[in-house]
Amino acid sequence: MKKSIIVYIIIIFCLFSCQSKKPKYYYFSYSNTITDVIIEGGLNNDSLESGKWAFYDQKKVLLSKGNYNNGLKEGEWLYLIDGKNVSLNWSIFSNDTTKFKINYPSEWKVIADKEYLFKATFNDVDTAKGKYLLVSKVTNDSTAITPDEYSKQVISIIIKHFIVNNVTKFIINNGNKRICFNKLDIIRDGKNFAMYEACMEINKILYDFIYSTDDLTNLPGAIFFDVLQGCFINNTRIINPLLPYALEKLEGK
């Protein structure tokens, strides 16, 4: 009898141990909210997403699914955006010299430019047409401008050059990192554009991401945040979804 009880206790302990190994994942949705999700997927020995993953809301509605390779999306991913299924293919850019790697949609055209850590355009146009993603290393001076100050300067410059209809601003605290995030609805050359901007400090160096597009759906927001989550600088992940998020919403202009 005692032996049966011991075996039962061991089984219960194993079950709880297995459940505790399932990672807690902070899913940031395109609607600028942190969504409580149900996940299917596992981590490798470096605590990075690996293999097939899927995300569901609490009603078990599929939000996205696809394949991870060391924390980076790879190949076809399916998303639920604005109530519609959207398919997107992801590629990986890696530069051993700058110790920089990033996820980007496969349809984008990567352009070599020493001024940027990463530069890409899409829809077969150049950056002059307002459709691009730029990643910049802004400063290496520890006494230089803070991410918050730099973010304010970016908004100020954009407002001077374009008609800005709306500004959404918030701060994401993720682990020991503070990421300033902006979305601006602008008019450029008589056309409506959405411009996403994010900046953060890593090892006393400021980095800035700017994504401009004429796609006014919620898809670019999902893409931009996936780009940020799929970016590593000196082996540091820009945003780690396995660490808790704290979202601080700010006022507009």
DSSP labels for 153-187?
Answer: HHHHHHHHHSEEEEEEEEEEEETTEEEEEEEEEEE
What predicted TM-score, i.e. pTM, was given to this entire model?
0.85
Q: Is residue 184 part of a domain?
A: yes
Pairwise pLDDT comparison (211 vs 247), residue with the higher score: 211
How confident is the model over 117-128, as a mean pLDDT? 77
Q: What is the largest CA-CA distance in the chain?
A: 82
Confidence of residue 252 (pLDDT cuts 50, 70, 90): low
Question: Residue 235 CA to chain centroid, in angstroms?
Answer: 16
Q: Is residue 12 part of a domain?
A: no
And the tokens for 79? 């998303």
How confident is the model over 129-140, as a mean pLDDT? 85
Q: Is residue 10 part of a domain?
A: no
Q: What is the pLDDT of residue 20?
A: 40
Q: Is residue 17 part of a domain?
A: no
Q: What is the pLDDT of residue 19?
A: 42
The domain spanning residue 129 has which CATH number? 3.40.1000.10
Q: Is residue 100 part of a domain?
A: yes
Q: For 32-67, give the DSSP string.
A: S-EE--EEEEEE-TTS-EEEEEEEE-TT--EEEEEE
Q: Is residue 83 part of a domain?
A: yes
Question: Residue 219 CA to chain centroid, in angstroms?
Answer: 13
Domain that holds residue 171: 22-250
- Domain count across the chain: 1
Confidence of residue 28 (pLDDT cuts 50, 70, 90): confident
Q: What is the pLDDT of residue 86?
A: 94
Q: Is residue 16 part of a domain?
A: no
- Residue 22 backbone dihedrals phi, psi, to 5 degrees: -70, 125
The sign of the dihedral angle between the CA atoms of 227, 233, 238, 242 is positive
Q: Is residue 227 part of a domain?
A: yes
